[in-house]
Amino acid sequence: MKQKTQLKVLLIATLALFGKSYCDAAAGHGHSNGEHSHRVSKSAAHEVQGGPHGGRLITIVDPHMEFLVTPERFVQLTFLGRDGQVVPVADQVVSAIGGDRSAPTKVEFVKNEGGLISTAALPEMKRMPIILQIKVTPDATRVRETFYLNMSNCPSCEYKEYACICRH
């Protein structure tokens, strides 16, 4: 009996020590952070940025990439240079998987007006997991960005939740 009580105390102490760090790290609830600021919340401790068209900024690749869902539910990708300006698409290879986990939708991208556009629309879901696979060049190592695409309007700013910059 005494051993169970000691384990509970140890567990509570561990959660108290590490729980705050986890909560602080999760406070951005999956929002992208990075170097280039386009639209920034003045109250944020760290700058949270969005893309120039109101999409989610993907910063794991260089050049950075804006992920934007169009009104027709196609995904538009725009590449941004270090100065935050739009740069033409080069040899990037991108694919995405999203939608219902039991029947996911895979979309490929083709060049369109200086960026990439998906060849298929995303399913009509308010919230869905997205796995974005990116190769900066055809022979480069593939990197993955995963997030939930939440199409709800943010209650604090004018963007969709997946691209929210206000850290509400």
Average pLDDT, 10 consecutive residues per value, the chain (168 residues) = 56 46 40 37 50 90 94 95 89 92 92 92 93 93 95 89 84
Q: Could you tell me the pTM of the whole model? A: 0.70
Residue 157: predicted pLDDT: 84
DSSP class of residue 50 equals B
Instruction: Write out the two tokens for 101.
Output: 């986990």
Q: Which residues pair with 107 in a beta bridge?
A: 96
Q: Quick one: pLDDT at residue 4?
A: 58
30: left (phi over 0), alpha (psi -120 to 50) or beta: left
